[in-house]
Structures are given as structure tokens and as C-alpha cells.
């Protein structure tokens, strides 16, 4: 009897070691495959020499593990890109976590915000990745928000679809009927969703987070994006997703690029799991009460009325108790920071803009 128990114990230990080895191999393989840099990956062919060569360095600050970590999430739109061409930046978001308090925040950076892009002068913020890749985008967003941006994670439409499908889709309440057609891409990314609580696979989830053809345009779209990513984060923290993690990583591997080292990726993954998605703060930046609508070079852009107040706003947001500040998307309401001006809808002109 004792001998049988010992055999079972040994078998269980061996099984556990195999499982740990399998997960470790999957994670390390994934981490190695998605690591990019200025001279490699999706942005390796980009000429990042600035017009003004006297501008400051784009080397991101080092994360020591004890201070707040900020990750720039870049969503690329490569539908009309040519081979080796840098995709347009369709989405800019910042995921921020305090490793001490375990408080997390998800910030949507309005892509038509008119800012100074180091080395290139003033332009819409979504042009920064086209000019100088993720490093320039990190620096530009950091300057705007007044916070260090240590890392970036880049993916495109196909990467988003693959992630949602890999975790088994998402249950979400679609606030309104959403319909839009575009023949430019052969109708591959047309939008056709019905109002109501429903299960969305990757393709339909992309339709949900891309829809912007209503009164508030990008203001309501960024609300939906934060709402959906919070739902994704919650599902990623579920036991089922953890068990399926190797398969999930393998599915999204071809579509993701980051400057996270394997060690920092592991530390950040543990921290993200501890920072429960249910308590994540959510906000549009710049908030609407600090936005001014302007017309520059024939294009509508958004400017920050007071950058010091923007920085103070974010510090106050980080200090608050975790709470979902996102109001239901799709109505005439806004995110944290006041109502969005309905007239603040940009057109298709301007460098680096993606308005589909």
C-alpha cells in the first residue's frame, strides 16, 4: 500500500514537472518570437532619423519593478499598407499598473490629438509611429501624458482577431445596431452588428471595437475599446484561459511585437494577474474638459488646453480607488473627464491619420 502511494506521488510529481516545463517552454518561445527592436521586427525597415537631429534620445526608461509601469498598446491598421511599409496607428492606449497597490488603469489616447512629435514638429499623435516606430510613439505619448512609458506592445487587426478567438470569444452587450461598409478593402472588414447582449468571436469583436460612425465618433469608439479590453483581461484571468495559455500564446505569436524582455514579460504577467480587471480605472485622455477643437492645415484636430492640468488629472486618476469610470458606450455620454464634444470629429486628411 505504501509502495503504491509512493508510486502515485512520484507519478504526480513527474506530471507536474512536465506541465511546468511545457508552460515554461511555451512562454519562453512566445517571448523570444515577439521581441522586436529598432533594427528588427515589423519596424526594422523604418528610417527613424528625425528631421531635427538635435532632439532627445528615444531610449525608453528602465522599469525597476517597484514603480508604476506603463505600457503603450499600439493597434495597427495595415489593410492598405504595401510590403515593408509601416502600418498606420489605428489605436493608441496605455495600460498602467502600480506594483505596490496593484491598481490598474486603461487609458485611451485620442489619435487626433495634435502634439509635438520629437524630431518632426507638430502633428496628430497617431503619426508618431509612422515617422519613427514604437520608440517615437512611446516618447510622444510620454511627453503628452507626463508619465514614463517603459514598454510597447504592437498588434494589428489579425492579431486582435486571433487573440479573441483563442480565448473563446467574449460575451458583451452591444449598445446599438452597428453597420458600416467599405469597398476599399473588398468588404473584408465591413461592420454589421445587432444591438443586444451576445457572444462575439474575433471577427465580430473587431467590428465592435472599430465602429465609429455615430455622433461621437472616436469618443464613443474609445469607450467601447476600453470596455472590451477590460472584458478580455477578465477572461484572461480565468482558470480556463490559464489552462489554455500555451495555445493562446501560439495563436497570437505571429501578430505581436514588443520591447519587453522575457524576464520583464514574466514579471509584468504576474503583476497583471494580481491587478484584477474588475477594478481597473478607465479614462479617455486627454479628457474632454481639457480639449480644444482646432483646424490645422485644412484638417480638424484636438489640442490640449492645459498640459499641466492634464498631468495632474492623470496623477489624481492613479491615486483613486480602482473603479470602472467608463459609462455605457454608444450614447451621448462620455468617459471620465466630462462630455465629449459631438463636433469633434476629424476628417481623413493629415499625415498619419487613419479614419476608416
pLDDT for position 341: 44
Cβ–Cβ < 8 Å for 108, 99: no
Cβ–Cβ < 8 Å for 8, 18: no
Q: Does domain 35-319 have CATH number 3.40.640.10?
A: no
Query: Which residues partner with 295 through β-bridges?
Result: 300
pLDDT for position 23: 66
pLDDT for position 26: 72
CA 141, CA 149: separation in Å to the nearest integer?
8
pLDDT for position 191: 93
For β-strands 151-156 and 69-77, DSSP reports them as parallel
Three-state secondary structure of the chain = CHHHHHHHHHHHHHHHHHHHHHHHHHHHHHHHHHECCCCCHHHCCCCCCCCCCCCCCCCCCCCCCCCCEEEEEEEEECCCCCCCCCCEEEEEEEEEECCCCCCEEEEEECCCEEEEECCCEEEEHHHHHHHHHHHHHHHHHHHHHCCCCCEEEEEEHHHHHHHHHHCCCEEEEECCCEEECCHHHCCCCCEEECCEEEEECHHHHHHHHHCCCCCCCHHHHHHHHHHHHHHHHHHHCCHHHHHCHHHHHHHHHHHCEECCCHHHHHHHHHHHHHCCHHHCEEEEECCHHHEEEEEECCEEEEEECCHHHHHHHHHHHHHCCCCCCCCCCCCCCCCCCCCCCCCCCCCCCCCCCCCC
pLDDT for position 205: 96
pTM: 0.81
Sorted by where each begins, the domain ranges of the chain are: 35-319
pLDDT for position 274: 82
CA 103, CA 280: separation in Å to the nearest integer?
7
Which stretches of the chain score pLDDT less than 50?
322-356
CA 323, CA 133: separation in Å to the nearest integer?
33
Cβ–Cβ < 8 Å for 134, 72: yes
**pLDDT tens sequence across 137-180:** 999 999 999 999 999 999 988 999 999 999 999 999 999 999 98
CA 76, CA 159: separation in Å to the nearest integer?
10
Amino acid at each position: 500500500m505504501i509502495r503504491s502511494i509512493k508510486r502515485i506521488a512520484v507519478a504526480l510529481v513527474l506530471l507536474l514537472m512536465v506541465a511546468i516545463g511545457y508552460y515554461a517552454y511555451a512562454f519562453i518561445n512566445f517571448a523570444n518570437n515577439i521581441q522586436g527592436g529598432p533594427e528588427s521586427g515589423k519596424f526594422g525597415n523604418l528610417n527613424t532619423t528625425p528631421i531635427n537631429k538635435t532632439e532627445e534620445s528615444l531610449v525608453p526608461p528602465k522599469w525597476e519593478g517597484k514603480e508604476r509601469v506603463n505600457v503603450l498598446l499600439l493597434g495597427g491598421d495595415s489593410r492598405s499598407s504595401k510590403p515593408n511599409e509601416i502600418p498606420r496607428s489605428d489605436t493608441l492606449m496605455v495600460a498602467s499598473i502600480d506594483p505596490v497597490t496593484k491598481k490598474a488603469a486603461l487609458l485611451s489616447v485620442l489619435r487626433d490629438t495634435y502634439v509635438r512629435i520629437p524630431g518632426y514638429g507638430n502633428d496628430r499623435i497617431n503619426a508618431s509611429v509612422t515617422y519613427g516606430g514604437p520608440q517615437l510613439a512611446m516618447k510622444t505619448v510620454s511627453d503628452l501624458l507626463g508619465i514614463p512609458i517603459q514598454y510597447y506592445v504592437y498588434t494589428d487587426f489579425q492579431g486582435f482577431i486571433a487573440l479573441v478567438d483563442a480565448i473563446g470569444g467574449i460575451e458583451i452587450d452591444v449598445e446599438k445596431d452597428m453597420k458600416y461598409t467599405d469597398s476599399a478593402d473588398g468588404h473584408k472588414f465591413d461592420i454589421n452588428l445587432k444591438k443586444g447582449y451576445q457572444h462575439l468571436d474575433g471577427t465580430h469583436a473587431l467590428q465592435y471595437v472599430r465602429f465609429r460612425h455615430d455622433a461621437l465618433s472616436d469618443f464613443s469608439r474609445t469607450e467601447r475599446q476600453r470596455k472590451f479590453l477590460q472584458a478580455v483581461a477578465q477572461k484572461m484571468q480565468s482558470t480556463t484561459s490559464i489552462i489554455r495559455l500555451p495555445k493562446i500564446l501560439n495563436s497570437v505569436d505571429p501578430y505581436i511585437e514588443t520591447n519587453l524582455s522575457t524576464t520583464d514579460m514574466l514579471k509584468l504577467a504576474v503583476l497583471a494577474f494580481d491587478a484584477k480587471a474588475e477594478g481597473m480605472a478607465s479614462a479617455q485622455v486627454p479628457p474632454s474638459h481639457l480639449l480644444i477643437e482646432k483646424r490645422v492645415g485644412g484638417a480638424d484636430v484636438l489640442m490640449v488646453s492645459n498640459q499641466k492640468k492634464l498631468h495632474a488629472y492623470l496623477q489624481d486618476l492613479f491615486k483613486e480607488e480602482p473603479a470602472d469610470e467608463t459609462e455605457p458606450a454608444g450614447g451621448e455620454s462620455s468617459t471620465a473627464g466630462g462630455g465629449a464634444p459631438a463636433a469633434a470629429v476629424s476628417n481623413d486628411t493629415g499625415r498619419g491619420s487613419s479614419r476608416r
